[in-house]
Amino acid sequence: MNIIIFGPPGAGKGTQSDFIVKNFNLFKLSTGDLLREEIKKKTPLGLKITSIVNSGSLVSDEIINILIETVISNSKYKNRIIFDGYPRNLSQAKNLNTLLSKYNQKINKVIKLQVSLNVIKKRITGRLTCPKCSKIFNEFFNPPPNNMTCCVGELLKKRDDDNVDVAIKRYETYEKSTEPVLEFYKKMNLVKDLNGEMNIESIQSKISDYLTVIEG
Ligand SMILES: [Zn+2]
């Protein structure tokens, strides 16, 4: 099976896609990884990508499509791809469909992790890390024991790079750009909405249920 996982930044998409990769023996296709790999290999395309990135421009859909096709056409990954962070827009979604049919494949399921902006804000602003043992807590969802301390006498510090404004912006951009993509897959009856505000284990068990049905 080939699946797509959608979810706003901070929804736990990475955790869930890693779980799927491990339990269903899939290959995670992330365009960021593909680009980095190509740059590292210094292929002619890699060098082109390097100059585009260095100039501050965005890599075109055309280049992304070339990279995606190398994976889809590879028999090693046939019918075992999980797309993470792709397709990002309608034209990429349409192109992905064309590419998959070219290699006699299709998307079997689209999993959409639904998390409200309010919860994402709390996940960010409530995050606390123990400076001694690096354990991560959240003052709203997973408070540390003993009045904000974890290891004895160590205060938990909020990460200062957490910026709520950035998160809001990313969330809104995500919603706006993926809406037409989700509509596209809804018309194909492929979208499964999942409450991403449940705990990790509950989400994993739901995902397992969906995907086992496809496999069987
Ligand atoms: Zn600690």
Tell me if 14 is assigned to some domain: yes
Peptide bond into 87 cis (omega under 30): yes
Centre of ligand 1 to C-alpha 154, Å, is 7
Centre of ligand 1 to C-alpha 200, Å, is 22
Tell me if 135 is assigned to some domain: no
CB under 8 A, 24+ apart: contacts of 209-212: 210/109, 210/111, 211/1, 211/3, 211/20, 211/24, 211/109
**Of the listed ranges 23-37, 94-108, 133-147, the one predicted with least confidence:** 133-147
Centre of ligand 1 to C-alpha 153, Å, is 9
Centre of ligand 1 to C-alpha 88, Å, is 39
**Residue 161, pLDDT score:** 55
Per residue in 176-212, pLDDT tens?
Answer: 989 999 999 999 999 999 999 998 899 999 999 988 8
How far is it, in rounded angstroms, from Cα 182 to Cα 186?
6
**Residue 10, pLDDT score:** 80
Tell me if 19 is assigned to some domain: yes
Centre of ligand 1 to C-alpha 55, Å, is 43
How far is it, in rounded angstroms, from Cα 24 to Cα 20?
6
Q: Which protein residues have their CB within 5 A of the ion that is ligand 1? A: 130, 132-133, 135, 150-151
Tell me if 170 is assigned to some domain: no
Q: What is the CATH number of the domain that holds 9?
A: 3.40.50.300
- As for how many domains the chain has, the answer is 1
Centre of ligand 1 to C-alpha 19, Å, is 26
The count of residues in the chain is 216
Tell me if 107 is assigned to some domain: yes
Per residue in 101-139, pLDDT tens?
Answer: 999 999 999 999 999 999 988 888 888 888 888 888 888
Residue 148 above 80 pLDDT? no
Tell me if 18 is assigned to some domain: yes
Centre of ligand 1 to C-alpha 132, Å, is 5
Give the residue numbers spanning the domain of 27.
3-117+178-215
DSSP state of 135: -
pLDDT band at 76 (very low <50, low <70, confident <90, very high): very high
Centre of ligand 1 to C-alpha 20, Å, is 30
User: Which tokens is 206 given?
Assistant: 């739901």
Residue 4 above 90 pLDDT? yes
Centre of ligand 1 to C-alpha 106, Å, is 46
**Residue 185, pLDDT score:** 97
Tell me if 183 is assigned to some domain: yes
Mean pLDDT of the chain: 89
